[in-house]
Structure 1
Protein backbone atom coordinates (compact mmCIF):
# COMPACT_ATOMS: atom_id res chain seq x y z
CA UNK A 1 0.00 0.00 0.00
CA UNK A 2 1.38 3.37 -0.96
CA UNK A 3 1.23 6.47 1.19
CA UNK A 4 -1.58 8.91 0.46
CA UNK A 5 -0.87 11.66 -2.03
CA UNK A 6 0.31 14.97 -0.70
CA UNK A 7 -1.33 17.79 -2.62
CA UNK A 8 -0.16 21.36 -2.65
CA UNK A 9 -2.09 24.36 -3.88
CA UNK A 10 -1.07 26.82 -6.57
CA UNK A 11 -0.09 29.58 -4.15
CA UNK A 12 2.23 27.29 -2.20
CA UNK A 13 3.82 25.94 -5.41
CA UNK A 14 4.42 29.51 -6.58
CA UNK A 15 6.19 30.26 -3.28
CA UNK A 16 8.25 27.06 -3.54
CA UNK A 17 9.31 27.90 -7.10
CA UNK A 18 10.69 31.22 -5.84
CA UNK A 19 12.63 29.60 -3.01
CA UNK A 20 16.37 28.82 -3.01
CA UNK A 21 15.60 25.09 -3.40
CA UNK A 22 12.61 24.84 -5.73
CA UNK A 23 11.03 21.46 -6.46
CA UNK A 24 11.19 19.79 -9.86
CA UNK A 25 7.89 20.20 -11.65
CA UNK A 26 7.01 17.21 -13.82
CA UNK A 27 4.09 17.80 -16.17
CA UNK A 28 2.60 14.40 -17.06
CA UNK A 29 0.31 15.60 -19.87
CA UNK A 30 0.91 14.83 -23.53
CA UNK A 31 3.59 16.86 -25.34
CA UNK A 32 0.84 18.64 -27.30
CA UNK A 33 -0.95 19.71 -24.11
CA UNK A 34 2.38 20.75 -22.57
CA UNK A 35 3.21 22.91 -25.60
CA UNK A 36 -0.16 24.67 -25.30
CA UNK A 37 0.50 25.88 -21.76
CA UNK A 38 2.88 24.88 -18.98
CA UNK A 39 4.47 26.22 -15.84
CA UNK A 40 7.85 27.83 -16.56
CA UNK A 41 10.67 25.43 -15.79
CA UNK A 42 8.45 22.33 -15.84
CA UNK A 43 9.67 19.13 -17.47
CA UNK A 44 7.30 17.26 -19.78
CA UNK A 45 7.23 13.59 -18.74
CA UNK A 46 4.04 12.12 -20.25
CA UNK A 47 2.30 9.61 -18.00
CA UNK A 48 2.76 6.63 -20.32
CA UNK A 49 6.48 7.39 -20.68
CA UNK A 50 6.84 7.83 -16.91
CA UNK A 51 5.25 4.44 -16.32
CA UNK A 52 7.45 2.76 -18.92
CA UNK A 53 10.75 4.35 -17.80
CA UNK A 54 9.98 4.97 -14.13
CA UNK A 55 13.18 3.49 -12.67
CA UNK A 56 15.46 5.32 -15.10
CA UNK A 57 13.71 8.65 -14.46
CA UNK A 58 13.73 8.24 -10.66
CA UNK A 59 17.53 7.89 -10.71
CA UNK A 60 17.70 11.54 -11.76
CA UNK A 61 15.27 12.94 -9.20
CA UNK A 62 16.77 13.77 -5.84
CA UNK A 63 14.77 16.80 -4.75
CA UNK A 64 11.06 17.28 -4.09
CA UNK A 65 8.89 16.71 -7.13
CA UNK A 66 5.52 18.27 -7.94
CA UNK A 67 3.38 16.45 -10.51
CA UNK A 68 1.10 18.47 -12.77
CA UNK A 69 -1.57 17.52 -15.29
CA UNK A 70 -4.74 19.24 -16.45
CA UNK A 71 -6.89 18.63 -13.38
CA UNK A 72 -5.04 16.15 -11.14
CA UNK A 73 -6.20 12.75 -12.40
CA UNK A 74 -3.07 11.80 -14.39
CA UNK A 75 -0.82 13.34 -11.73
CA UNK A 76 -2.47 11.06 -9.16
CA UNK A 77 -1.68 8.05 -11.35
CA UNK A 78 1.90 9.27 -11.78
CA UNK A 79 2.22 9.76 -8.02
CA UNK A 80 1.12 6.18 -7.42
CA UNK A 81 3.67 4.96 -9.99
CA UNK A 82 6.51 6.84 -8.29
CA UNK A 83 5.54 5.90 -4.73
CA UNK A 84 5.24 2.24 -5.71
CA UNK A 85 8.89 2.47 -6.84
CA UNK A 86 9.90 3.91 -3.46
CA UNK A 87 10.11 7.59 -4.46
CA UNK A 88 8.40 9.40 -1.58
CA UNK A 89 9.24 13.10 -1.98
CA UNK A 90 6.44 13.63 -4.49
CA UNK A 91 3.46 15.99 -4.42
CA UNK A 92 0.51 16.76 -6.70
CA UNK A 93 -0.57 20.24 -7.76
CA UNK A 94 -4.15 20.39 -6.50
CA UNK A 95 -6.44 21.07 -9.45
CA UNK A 96 -3.56 20.87 -11.94
CA UNK A 97 -2.69 23.45 -14.55
CA UNK A 98 -6.38 24.43 -14.73
CA UNK A 99 -6.29 25.60 -11.08
CA UNK A 100 -2.87 27.22 -11.58
CA UNK A 101 -4.21 29.33 -14.46
CA UNK A 102 -7.52 30.05 -12.67
CA UNK A 103 -5.53 31.56 -9.77
CA UNK A 104 -3.83 33.89 -12.24
CA UNK A 105 -0.35 32.36 -12.23
CA UNK A 106 1.70 32.68 -15.41
CA UNK A 107 2.19 29.91 -17.94
CA UNK A 108 4.37 29.60 -21.01
CA UNK A 109 2.09 29.38 -24.04
CA UNK A 110 2.63 27.77 -27.42
CA UNK A 111 0.41 26.32 -30.12
CA UNK A 112 -3.08 25.90 -28.71
CA UNK A 113 -4.51 22.38 -28.74
CA UNK A 114 -7.45 20.70 -27.13
CA UNK A 115 -6.58 18.94 -23.90
CA UNK A 116 -6.84 15.17 -23.86
CA UNK A 117 -9.99 15.02 -21.74
CA UNK A 118 -11.82 17.27 -24.20
CA UNK A 119 -10.70 15.06 -27.07
CA UNK A 120 -12.06 11.98 -25.27
CA UNK A 121 -15.43 13.69 -24.80
CA UNK A 122 -15.54 14.60 -28.51
CA UNK A 123 -14.65 11.12 -29.75
CA UNK A 124 -16.85 9.23 -27.27
CA UNK A 125 -19.80 11.58 -27.83
CA UNK A 126 -19.45 11.37 -31.60
CA UNK A 127 -19.36 7.57 -31.55
CA UNK A 128 -22.41 7.39 -29.28
CA UNK A 129 -24.37 9.94 -31.34
CA UNK A 130 -23.41 8.26 -34.62
CA UNK A 131 -24.32 4.81 -33.27
CA UNK A 132 -27.70 5.93 -31.97
CA UNK A 133 -28.56 7.71 -35.23
CA UNK A 134 -27.20 4.81 -37.29
CA UNK A 135 -29.25 2.32 -35.27
CA UNK A 136 -32.35 3.68 -37.03
CA UNK A 137 -31.13 1.90 -40.18
CA UNK A 138 -29.01 -0.81 -38.52
CA UNK A 139 -30.46 -1.60 -35.06
CA UNK A 140 -27.36 -3.49 -33.89
CA UNK A 141 -25.35 -0.24 -33.90
CA UNK A 142 -26.95 0.59 -30.54
CA UNK A 143 -24.50 -1.92 -29.03
CA UNK A 144 -21.59 0.29 -30.10
CA UNK A 145 -23.10 3.13 -28.06
CA UNK A 146 -23.53 0.70 -25.16
CA UNK A 147 -19.90 -0.41 -25.40
CA UNK A 148 -18.70 3.20 -25.29
CA UNK A 149 -20.91 3.83 -22.24
CA UNK A 150 -19.48 0.73 -20.58
CA UNK A 151 -15.95 1.87 -21.40
CA UNK A 152 -16.57 5.31 -19.91
CA UNK A 153 -18.05 3.74 -16.78
CA UNK A 154 -15.01 1.47 -16.41
CA UNK A 155 -12.72 4.48 -16.99
CA UNK A 156 -14.40 6.36 -14.15
CA UNK A 157 -14.32 3.40 -11.76
CA UNK A 158 -10.71 2.45 -12.49
CA UNK A 159 -9.42 6.02 -12.87
CA UNK A 160 -7.88 5.07 -16.23
CA UNK A 161 -8.91 5.82 -19.78
CA UNK A 162 -8.00 3.51 -22.65
CA UNK A 163 -9.42 5.96 -25.20
CA UNK A 164 -7.31 8.76 -23.72
CA UNK A 165 -4.19 6.60 -23.87
CA UNK A 166 -4.88 5.82 -27.53
CA UNK A 167 -5.58 9.47 -28.40
CA UNK A 168 -2.34 10.51 -26.65
CA UNK A 169 -0.41 8.56 -29.29
CA UNK A 170 -1.88 10.51 -32.22
CA UNK A 171 0.46 12.95 -34.02
CA UNK A 172 -1.79 15.84 -32.91
CA UNK A 173 -0.84 15.12 -29.28
CA UNK A 174 2.82 14.35 -29.85
CA UNK A 175 4.28 17.82 -30.19
CA UNK A 176 8.04 18.13 -29.70
CA UNK A 177 10.28 15.10 -29.33
CA UNK A 178 9.52 13.50 -26.01
CA UNK A 179 11.31 10.23 -25.37
CA UNK A 180 13.05 8.72 -22.34
CA UNK A 181 16.55 9.73 -23.45
CA UNK A 182 15.51 13.34 -24.06
CA UNK A 183 13.74 13.56 -20.70
CA UNK A 184 16.62 12.01 -18.77
CA UNK A 185 19.14 14.38 -20.42
CA UNK A 186 16.93 17.35 -19.49
CA UNK A 187 16.68 16.15 -15.88
CA UNK A 188 20.46 15.69 -15.68
CA UNK A 189 21.06 19.21 -17.04
CA UNK A 190 18.20 20.67 -14.97
Structure 2
Protein backbone atom coordinates (compact mmCIF):
# COMPACT_ATOMS: atom_id res chain seq x y z
CA UNK A 1 0.00 0.00 0.00
CA UNK A 2 2.73 2.47 1.01
CA UNK A 3 4.90 1.52 -1.99
CA UNK A 4 1.99 2.09 -4.36
CA UNK A 5 1.28 5.46 -2.74
CA UNK A 6 4.93 6.50 -3.09
CA UNK A 7 4.90 5.54 -6.78
CA UNK A 8 1.70 7.55 -7.29
CA UNK A 9 3.23 10.54 -5.51
CA UNK A 10 6.30 10.33 -7.71
CA UNK A 11 4.17 10.33 -10.86
CA UNK A 12 2.18 13.32 -9.61
CA UNK A 13 5.36 15.20 -8.72
CA UNK A 14 6.92 14.48 -12.09
CA UNK A 15 3.78 15.66 -13.88
CA UNK A 16 3.53 18.74 -11.67
CA UNK A 17 7.23 19.45 -12.09
CA UNK A 18 6.85 19.53 -15.85
CA UNK A 19 4.13 22.17 -15.66
CA UNK A 20 5.09 24.29 -12.67
CA UNK A 21 7.23 26.73 -14.65
CA UNK A 22 4.43 27.45 -17.08
CA UNK A 23 1.82 27.78 -14.33
CA UNK A 24 3.96 29.89 -12.01
CA UNK A 25 4.72 32.31 -14.82
CA UNK A 26 1.02 33.08 -15.02
CA UNK A 27 0.15 32.95 -11.32
CA UNK A 28 0.66 35.84 -8.87
CA UNK A 29 3.37 35.07 -6.33
CA UNK A 30 1.15 36.19 -3.44
CA UNK A 31 -1.57 33.64 -4.25
CA UNK A 32 -2.26 31.07 -1.53
CA UNK A 33 -3.26 27.48 -2.11
CA UNK A 34 -4.05 24.34 -0.08
CA UNK A 35 -2.19 21.04 -0.30
CA UNK A 36 -5.38 19.46 -1.62
CA UNK A 37 -5.19 21.62 -4.74
CA UNK A 38 -1.55 21.17 -5.74
CA UNK A 39 -0.78 18.36 -8.18
CA UNK A 40 -3.31 16.17 -9.96
CA UNK A 41 -6.50 17.88 -11.23
CA UNK A 42 -9.47 17.49 -8.88
CA UNK A 43 -11.47 15.20 -11.13
CA UNK A 44 -12.68 13.04 -8.23
CA UNK A 45 -13.18 13.30 -4.47
CA UNK A 46 -10.20 11.04 -3.88
CA UNK A 47 -7.88 13.33 -5.89
CA UNK A 48 -7.89 15.69 -2.89
CA UNK A 49 -6.58 13.03 -0.54
CA UNK A 50 -4.02 11.74 -3.02
CA UNK A 51 -2.68 15.27 -3.49
CA UNK A 52 -2.57 15.90 0.26
CA UNK A 53 -0.57 12.75 0.97
CA UNK A 54 1.91 13.55 -1.79
CA UNK A 55 2.26 17.23 -0.95
CA UNK A 56 2.50 17.07 2.83
CA UNK A 57 5.88 15.36 2.81
CA UNK A 58 7.12 17.58 -0.02
CA UNK A 59 6.22 21.08 1.16
CA UNK A 60 6.09 20.86 4.99
CA UNK A 61 9.49 21.01 6.67
CA UNK A 62 8.73 19.07 9.87
CA UNK A 63 6.66 16.42 8.11
CA UNK A 64 8.76 13.67 9.71
CA UNK A 65 7.09 14.36 13.06
CA UNK A 66 3.61 14.00 11.56
CA UNK A 67 3.23 10.76 9.63
CA UNK A 68 0.24 10.50 7.33
CA UNK A 69 -0.61 6.80 7.38
CA UNK A 70 -3.71 6.18 5.28
CA UNK A 71 -7.05 7.48 4.07
CA UNK A 72 -10.33 5.87 3.06
CA UNK A 73 -13.91 6.81 2.29
CA UNK A 74 -16.20 5.91 5.18
CA UNK A 75 -19.57 7.20 4.05
CA UNK A 76 -21.82 10.00 2.87
CA UNK A 77 -23.41 12.71 5.00
CA UNK A 78 -27.07 11.82 5.61
CA UNK A 79 -27.97 14.87 7.69
CA UNK A 80 -26.37 17.45 9.98
CA UNK A 81 -26.64 15.14 13.00
CA UNK A 82 -24.73 12.52 11.06
CA UNK A 83 -21.98 15.05 10.31
CA UNK A 84 -21.77 16.05 13.99
CA UNK A 85 -20.94 12.44 14.86
CA UNK A 86 -17.68 12.72 12.93
CA UNK A 87 -16.95 16.27 14.05
CA UNK A 88 -17.12 15.19 17.69
CA UNK A 89 -14.00 13.20 16.96
CA UNK A 90 -12.27 16.06 15.12
CA UNK A 91 -12.94 18.48 17.97
CA UNK A 92 -12.86 16.04 20.89
CA UNK A 93 -11.02 17.16 24.03
CA UNK A 94 -8.72 14.14 24.08
CA UNK A 95 -8.83 13.00 20.45
CA UNK A 96 -8.19 16.19 18.48
CA UNK A 97 -5.14 18.13 17.43
CA UNK A 98 -4.49 21.37 15.62
CA UNK A 99 -1.54 23.42 14.46
CA UNK A 100 -0.41 26.90 13.55
CA UNK A 101 1.36 27.51 10.26
CA UNK A 102 4.85 28.95 10.66
CA UNK A 103 6.81 30.28 7.71
CA UNK A 104 9.97 32.08 6.72
CA UNK A 105 10.73 33.60 3.34
CA UNK A 106 13.96 35.17 2.15
CA UNK A 107 14.15 37.17 -1.04
CA UNK A 108 16.19 39.62 -3.05
CA UNK A 109 14.59 42.43 -5.00
CA UNK A 110 15.61 44.46 -8.00
CA UNK A 111 13.83 47.15 -9.96
CA UNK A 112 12.64 44.44 -12.32
CA UNK A 113 11.68 41.45 -10.18
CA UNK A 114 11.66 39.78 -6.78
CA UNK A 115 13.48 36.46 -6.39
CA UNK A 116 12.72 34.03 -3.56
CA UNK A 117 16.03 32.81 -2.11
CA UNK A 118 14.64 30.73 0.76
CA UNK A 119 11.19 29.48 1.74
CA UNK A 120 10.30 27.31 4.73
CA UNK A 121 6.95 26.22 6.14
CA UNK A 122 6.46 24.09 9.23
CA UNK A 123 3.67 23.28 11.67
CA UNK A 124 3.52 24.24 15.34
CA UNK A 125 1.55 21.25 16.64
CA UNK A 126 -0.72 21.54 19.68
CA UNK A 127 -2.69 18.48 20.88
CA UNK A 128 -5.83 19.78 22.58
CA UNK A 129 -5.54 17.46 25.57
CA UNK A 130 -2.78 19.79 26.77
CA UNK A 131 -5.36 22.46 27.57
CA UNK A 132 -8.82 20.88 27.56
CA UNK A 133 -10.64 23.50 29.63
CA UNK A 134 -9.35 26.62 27.89
CA UNK A 135 -10.12 25.15 24.47
CA UNK A 136 -13.68 24.03 25.29
CA UNK A 137 -15.50 27.19 24.14
CA UNK A 138 -13.43 27.50 20.97
CA UNK A 139 -14.00 23.85 20.15
CA UNK A 140 -17.78 24.11 20.43
CA UNK A 141 -17.95 27.26 18.32
CA UNK A 142 -15.67 25.84 15.64
CA UNK A 143 -17.69 22.64 15.47
CA UNK A 144 -20.88 24.66 14.98
CA UNK A 145 -19.30 26.68 12.15
CA UNK A 146 -18.02 23.53 10.47
CA UNK A 147 -21.41 21.78 10.59
CA UNK A 148 -22.94 24.78 8.81
CA UNK A 149 -20.44 24.35 5.96
CA UNK A 150 -21.25 20.67 5.35
CA UNK A 151 -24.07 19.60 3.02
CA UNK A 152 -26.13 16.44 2.84
CA UNK A 153 -24.51 14.14 0.29
CA UNK A 154 -20.94 15.24 0.98
CA UNK A 155 -18.41 12.40 0.95
CA UNK A 156 -16.69 11.56 4.24
CA UNK A 157 -13.04 10.52 4.26
CA UNK A 158 -11.07 9.22 7.22
CA UNK A 159 -7.41 10.21 7.54
CA UNK A 160 -5.17 8.30 9.93
CA UNK A 161 -1.93 9.93 11.04
CA UNK A 162 0.65 9.59 13.81
CA UNK A 163 2.14 12.28 16.01
CA UNK A 164 4.32 11.93 19.11
CA UNK A 165 3.73 8.16 19.41
CA UNK A 166 -0.03 8.59 19.25
CA UNK A 167 -2.36 7.72 16.39
CA UNK A 168 -5.11 10.14 15.39
CA UNK A 169 -8.16 9.70 13.18
CA UNK A 170 -9.49 12.77 11.40
CA UNK A 171 -12.45 13.21 9.06
CA UNK A 172 -12.69 15.50 6.05
CA UNK A 173 -15.71 16.24 3.88
CA UNK A 174 -15.78 16.61 0.10
CA UNK A 175 -18.47 18.03 -2.19
CA UNK A 176 -19.11 15.21 -4.72
CA UNK A 177 -20.23 17.67 -7.39
CA UNK A 178 -17.31 20.11 -7.38
CA UNK A 179 -14.85 17.69 -5.71
CA UNK A 180 -13.91 20.57 -3.40
CA UNK A 181 -12.89 19.83 0.17
CA UNK A 182 -14.80 21.58 2.94
CA UNK A 183 -12.13 23.90 4.33
CA UNK A 184 -14.02 25.23 7.37
CA UNK A 185 -12.67 23.54 10.50
CA UNK A 186 -10.33 21.36 8.43
CA UNK A 187 -6.82 21.28 9.94
CA UNK A 188 -5.36 19.99 6.67
CA UNK A 189 -6.90 22.77 4.58
CA UNK A 190 -4.44 25.47 5.64
CA UNK A 191 -3.19 27.69 2.83
CA UNK A 192 0.42 28.34 1.91
CA UNK A 193 1.92 30.85 -0.53
CA UNK A 194 2.06 29.69 -4.11
CA UNK A 195 5.59 31.08 -4.20
CA UNK A 196 6.60 28.36 -1.70
CA UNK A 197 5.33 25.66 -4.07
CA UNK A 198 7.35 27.16 -6.91
CA UNK A 199 10.46 27.51 -4.72
CA UNK A 200 10.40 23.88 -3.51
CA UNK A 201 9.70 22.50 -6.97
CA UNK A 202 12.55 24.55 -8.40
CA UNK A 203 14.92 23.18 -5.74
CA UNK A 204 13.92 19.61 -6.61
CA UNK A 205 14.46 19.91 -10.35
Q: Where on the TM-score scale, by shorter chain, does this alignment land: which range?
A: under 0.3
Query: TM-score if structure 1 supplies the norm length?
Result: 0.27
Instruction: Give the structure-2-normalised TM-score.
Output: 0.26
The structure with the greater share of residues assigned to helix is 1
